[in-house]
Amino acid sequence: MIRLENISKRYVMGDVQVAALDGVSLEVDKGEFVVVLGPSGSGKTTLLNIIGALDVPTEGHVQINGGNMTLTNKVNRFKFRRETVSFIFQTFNLFPSLTALENVQFVLDMQPADKTKKEKRNGQANRARAIEVLTDVGLGERVNHFPHELSGGEQQRVAIARALATGNPVLLADEPTGELDFRTGIQILELLKRQAEAGKTVLVVTHNREISRIADRVIELSSGKIVSDGAPRGGKAEIADLQW
Amino acid sequence: MNMSFWLRWSWRDLRARWLQVLAISLIIALGTGVFAGLGGQESWRVDSLDTSTERLNMHDFKMELADGSFIDQTDLIAALDGIEGVAALEPRLIVPTLLDASTEDDTVLAQGQLVGVDVSENGPQVDSLYVDQGRIFTSDDAGQNVAMLELQFADINNVEVGTTLRISGDVELETVGIGQSPEYFAVVPPDNSFVFGEANYAVMFVPLSTAQRITDREGLINNVAFILADGADSAAVQAAVEAHMTASFPDTGLDFVTRDDDIGLTMLYSDAKNDQVTWDIVALMFLVGAALGAFNLAGRIVESQRRQIGIGMALGVSRFWIAFRPMLVGVQIAVLGTLLGLLAGIGLSSLFASLFRDILPMPYWETSLYMPGFIQATVLGILLPFAATVLPIWRAVRVSPVDAITTGNLVAKGGGLSWLANHLPLPGKSFMQMPVKNILRSPWRSLLTVLGISMAIILMTAFIGFLDSFVATLDRAEDAYLYENGDRMIVTLDRFYPETNGEIAAIRDLAAEDGSPLFAQLEIGLMLGGRLIDGDEDIDTLIELHDMDQAIWRPKLLAGELPTASDEPGIILSEKAADDLGVAVGDLVTLEHPRREGLLSFRLVQTELPVIGIHNNPVRALSYMDLSATNLVGLNDVTNLLVAKPAEGAQPDTIKLALMNQPGVASVQEIAEISESFEVIMDLFVTILQVVRIIVLFMAFLIAFNTTSINVDERVREISTMFAFGLPVRTVTRMQIFENLIIGVLGTALGLVLGWFALNAMLVARVEDQLAEFKFIVEISPETLIVSMVLGVLVVAITPLLSIRKMTRLNIPDMLRVME
């Protein structure tokens, strides 16, 4: 599903070259729930951005669903983001002028008419689908609220609904609970876990080691390198067991 | 706090948004530059007139002998010798003549005068000649057939140095120079029909002895120009001169004309003052437009720092330092605006000055940067950016420290008018509905953007509409004169002649060399001065009486009907006169007019007449009556006005030449020349406004571009989110274009409405005080509307295209991580 070969990403800051990622290689299978763990500056967000084709590596190859994203051009990267990956951000990045429903419907409306992986939808169908997804994330009663009328947890759930509505097979979440309290964070994690169980590949970037306990697999980064890759230390836990 | 720290920070701010700061500074610079450039025209013209008259030793007064009187110049100098208070005097011989300066390519026929002046010692010493082309007179020219032609006539009629001038008496003069004399900066023909004298009245300076010889008045003069000694009293000197003259030449009538009595010179000075009123309005509007545009944009820049200001508050930074950084944005704009304003002021002053030089007659110009205007505008340019920062700072310090340091979803943000969107049936997909919702979500920001655009459109509409109105007024005048028999000629006679008089018959019978008649039709008319009175209002009028049943030309009416000979007498007024008097067709108006009481005596009488029509000529003074009303004025069967329709094939120049040689003919003009002469009146305004239009266009574009550019900057995070979800650049651009389109339409509509009001306010202010003699047609031409809409809608809408490169180079991950 996702295959990274010897990925490096270097930035030049003044006279100094900083390596955000340094020779990272990994593979992630379909349906895996992967947590990328690491302290601030370890390169985890850079990794997520490269997987999501928001950024390109300085060296190495990225293959997703068999396609080499390193060699592809900007137009194809846009297409890839539209059809393969969906983002969930720490700060939600909802469109403030759109209601919850419209934020979700937005990504459905932008799907090209000839998309083959799902039937062509008209506006009414997109709206119905958006309501369905919002209901799935527990916001069936809040569809017509604007972001500023929603709590942080509700906003993040709208963001997840937006990501899910695309139907894209890969979910990339950057510190999805970073802005939320514990209880709301747990709800969000449950939602993400359910997506992996439903067959989506989910990558969650976090610095919160507790979250990594529920992952199928934990990749730990430090100074741009993978320092560990495997099952959670101490075994996989249930969401109910988490505490922070 | 360390000052250098803040300056460093401010420098970074400048580097981040230098383009916007530069654009706002340019807007201020254009405003101050135009203000300084136009504000100085009165001072330029007055100073230049003062300098020109002083350097050319203009007379303080002149003594004119009665018509037909001449005195021996030697006797005269002897008679005036030793009068206290006279610094210099210059005897001249001034005689009327006709001029034929035609060349193979061009026919130039005009009435004019020969001015014989002393050419010894590079004279004349009083009312000296400024040589524009060719050479100055020398003592060797005395007695020679050489002339210096007045510059404006030469320019308008394309007469060059070397041209042979043929004058009355079949005398030929060689044009050795083209130049000016302060006495003729404004050329006023003897009949005081001074308007456009420059084009139709030729002044030729010749050596005095030459003038005396060719007019057969050897040794005689009829005019003396005087310069007073320092501190001399003009009236006392005139009295002394008169006493000496009376003693030496008791039978010679004379008259004194001082500078204050000089119609041309007075007109030039008063025009400078009157025109300044218009330019002040234009300059002030421009400055206000620039000020509001800059205020809006500077405010929005600071607005974008509002959150950081709030954070500063939360961190306990003192209010002074909180205000300091946004104030530094104001400083940047103010400093740059002042520097660019100085350059713009000098540049535009120089440009306007060169336009004035081309249009106005003074040879010496004083057109340095008008410092009072520049200082006023600069003070405003400095204060404005600071004022613009006050509101955002005030808004920012109202944020509570808790809110200021909160990020993410807890940031308190209102939804503006978003609720309204839920009640609007918006068509299309959600991302095409988003532009409308964005506008509604941030009504304040949207309003500022709309106001920014509208400011550009207001400027465009008001200024170009101003120009359009001038042009429309000219077009109306042209239509009034030329809509019917536009080839006709107007002949004025030097007095009233019986219709059956020999002179009239001779004119009627004029024929070409081959014997063919020159006129297809010759109509007898009358022209009289008078006054229209209605209650407290009264205005001067010039009444033309034509036989409306068979006139070559009749006034074109906006209301009422043309009279016939059988009708009771009635008067046709201009629209402006009717408006000013508050009368309409059917109302009565009192006409004060001369009435002949005896053979040569007239008495002013008042007659109440019905208004039977309103004509379309914008000149207020023109009124018309049927010729059958001549008994009202006691002038039955006499005429002083002829309207001639040339015979087919008869050349206007041939007719002019023939008419000018006829006794009794005072002037001959093609009607098209009168129409064109209106363009001369407005030439100064039209020329300057053409320049202002270009500056307005540029400034409007700057405002529109900067407004939309700031908009894109403010949306960068949303744009990045869309990119993260794979929305193509073209779709995002389309959305922005759509949003800009809505903003542009709103801004343009508001701008057009407010621009219309501004235009009316400008014209009303101008017309009421300065151009009361004209009916101004307030008009915005379709071209102006199209340009305004192109600028306000199209330019604003397509501005996002200029940001495509910026968008494609966005660091999406960075933008997405930006905290609210």
User: What is the ipTM for the molecules in this complex?
Assistant: 0.77
The sheet with strand A16-28 has its strands ordered as A16-28, A2-13, A59-64, A67-68
At which of B207, B224, B241 does a domain end? B224
Flag whether residue B816 sits within 8 Å of chain A, measured between CB atoms.
Answer: yes
Contact B817 A144 (CB under 8 A): no
Judge: A96–B413 Cβ closer than 8 Å, yes or no.
Answer: yes
Residue B620 belongs to some domain of the structure: yes
Give the chain A residue nearest B428 (alpha carbons): A123
State residue B409's pLDDT score: 44
Q: Which of B437, B438, B725 to mutate to test the interface with A (most CBs of A within 10 A)?
A: B725
Distance CA B529, CA B542 (A): 5
On chain B, the residues whose CB falls within 8 A of the CB of A74 are 808
Give the position of tokens 């309207």: B643
Is A82–B431 a contact, with Cβ atoms under 8 angstroms apart?
no
Whether residue B201 is contained in a domain is answered as yes
pLDDT for position B194? 41
User: Which residue of B406, B409, B429 to mutate against A (max A Cβ within 10 Å)?
Assistant: B409
What is the C-alpha to C-alpha distance for residues A74 and B736, in angstroms, rounded to an integer?
Answer: 21
Give the chain A residue whose CA is nearest to the CA of B418.
A97
DSSP B573: E
Residues B787, B697, single domain; the answer is yes
Whole-number CA gyration radius for chain A: 18
Q: Is residue B591 within 8 Å of residue B609, measured between CB atoms? A: yes
Between CA B304 and CA B302 the distance in angstroms is 5
B535 and B399 belong to one structural domain: no
pLDDT at res. A110: 77
Query: How many pairs of residues across A and B have Cβ atoms under 8 Å apart?
Result: 117
DSSP letter for each residue of B646-711: EPTT--HHHHHHHHHTSTTEEEEEEHHHHHHHHHHHHHHHHHHHHHHHHHHHHHHHHHHHHHHHHH
- Among candidates B332, B453, B441, which has minimal Cα distance to B752? B453
Smallest Cβ distance to B437: which of A98, A148, A149?
A98
H or E element in which residue B542 lies: strand B537-546
Q: Does B427 touch chain A (CB under 8 A)?
A: no
Q: Which residue has the tokens 């997506």?
A: A195
How many whole angstroms separate alpha carbon B152 and alpha carbon B162? Answer: 17
Residue B485, chain A, CB below 8 Å: the answer is no
Which position has the higher pLDDT, A77 or A220?
A220
pLDDT for the residue numbered B819: 45
Give the whole-angstrom CA distance, residue B28 versus residue B17: 17
User: Does residue B452 share a domain with residue B486?
Assistant: no
Nearest CB to A107 within list B414, B725, B813: B725
Q: Does B819 touch chain A (CB under 8 A)?
A: yes
User: From the list A97, A148, A162, which residue is nearest B437 (CB)?
Assistant: A97
Q: Which of A83, A89, A95, A122 to mutate to test the interface with B (most CBs of B within 10 A)?
A: A95
- For chain B, which residues score pLDDT lower than 50? 194-195, 405, 407-412, 819-820
Q: Which residues of A touch B407 (CB under 8 A)?
A: 91, 179
Asked if B702 and B656 sit in the same domain, the reply is: no
Distances (CA, A) of B820 to A48, A106, B180, B408, B817: 22, 21, 72, 6, 9
More confident residue, A98 or B448: A98
List the single residue in B with minimal CA-CA distance to A155: B409
CB < 8 Å to A126, chain B:
429-430
Averaged confidence pLDDT in chain A: 87
Could you tell me if B669 and B696 lie in one domain? Answer: no
Do the Cβ atoms of B413 and A78 come within 8 Å? no
Contact B816 A89 (CB under 8 A): yes
Q: Does B431 contact A151 at a Cβ distance shorter than 8 Å?
A: no
In a domain, B155, yes or no: yes
> Cβ B415–A148 below 8 Å, yes or no?
yes
Question: Where is pLDDT greater, at B427 or A224?
Answer: A224
**pLDDT computed for residue B411 by the predictor:** 44
The predicted structure's pLDDT at residue B566 = 80
User: Which residue of chain A has the CA closest to B413?
Assistant: A148
Tell whether B350 and B374 lie within a shared domain: yes
Q: Between A201 and B397, where is the model more confident?
A: A201
Both B685 and B803 in a single domain?
Answer: yes
C-alpha gyration radius of chain B: 35
Question: Is B147 in the same domain as B189?
Answer: yes
Q: A57 CA to chain B: closest CA distance, Å?
A: 14
Residue A99 has pLDDT above 90, yes or no: no
CA atoms of A50 and B236, how far apart (whole Å) = 100
pLDDT at B820 (0 to 100): 38
Q: Worst-scoring range by mean pLDDT, A142-146, A189-193, B371-375?
A: B371-375
What CATH number does residue B569 fall under?
Answer: 2.40.40.20
B136 neighbors B122 (Cβ within 8 angstroms): yes
Burial-class residue B810 by CB neighbours within 10 Å (0-12, 13-18, 19+). middle
Do B143 and B128 lie in one domain? The reply is: yes
- Shortest distance, CA B450 to any CA of chain A (angstroms): 18
B440 touches chain A (CB under 8 A): yes
Identify how many contiguous H helices and E strands chain A contains and give both numbers: 6, 10
State the alpha helices, DSSP H only, in B56-120: 73-80
Q: Are B434 and A97 within 8 A, CB to CB?
A: yes
Question: DSSP string of B392-437?
Answer: HHHHHHTS-HHHHH--GGGS----TTHHHHHTS---S-HHHHHHHH
Q: Which residue among B224, B240, B258 closes a domain?
A: B224
Which chain B positions have a beta carbon within 8 Å of A45's beta carbon?
813, 817
Give residue A177's pLDDT band: very low, low, confident or very high (50, 70, 90).
Answer: confident
pLDDT at position B311, please? 63
Which residues have a Cβ under 8 Å from the Cβ of B16 and sit 6 or more positions away? none
A157 by Cβ neighbours in 10 Å (0-12 / 13-18 / 19+) ranks as buried
Assess if residue B247 is contained within a domain.
Answer: no
Contact A81 B413 (CB under 8 A): no
* Statement to judge: residues B636 and B488 lie in one domain: yes
Does residue B231 lie in a domain region? no
Instruction: Let me know if residue B374 belongs to a domain.
Output: yes
Structural domains of chain B, count: 4
Residue B321 confidence (pLDDT): 75
Residue B719 at interface with chain A, using a CB cutoff of 8 Å: no
Residue that finishes a domain, picked among B646, B676, B706: B676
The residue of chain B nearest to residue A102, with distances taken between CA atoms, is B430
Q: To the nearest whole angstrom, how far is the Cα of B306 from the nearest Cα of chain A? A: 18
**Is B230 contained in some domain?**
no
Crossing angle of the two packed helices B263-303 and B729-769, in degrees rounded to 10:
150
What chain B residue is nearest to A80 in terms of C-alpha separation?
Answer: B726
Host domain of residue B737: 418-476+677-820
Cβ-defined contact of B415 to A149 (cutoff 8 Å): yes
Tokens 């037909």 map to which residue? B68
> What does DSSP assign to residue B619?
B
In a domain, B641, yes or no: yes
B458 and B482 together in one domain: no
Query: Mind telling me how many Å the CA of A74 is from chain B's nearest CA?
Result: 9
Residue B170, φ and ψ in degrees, nearest 5? 55, 40
- Shared-domain flag, residues B484 and B621: yes
**Residue B372: phi, psi to the nearest 5?**
-55, -45
Which of B670, B665, B575, B681 has its CA nearest to residue B620?
Answer: B575
Rounded distance between C-alpha atoms, residue A162 and residue A164, angstroms: 5
Residue B438 in contact with partner chain A when CB distance is under 8 A: yes
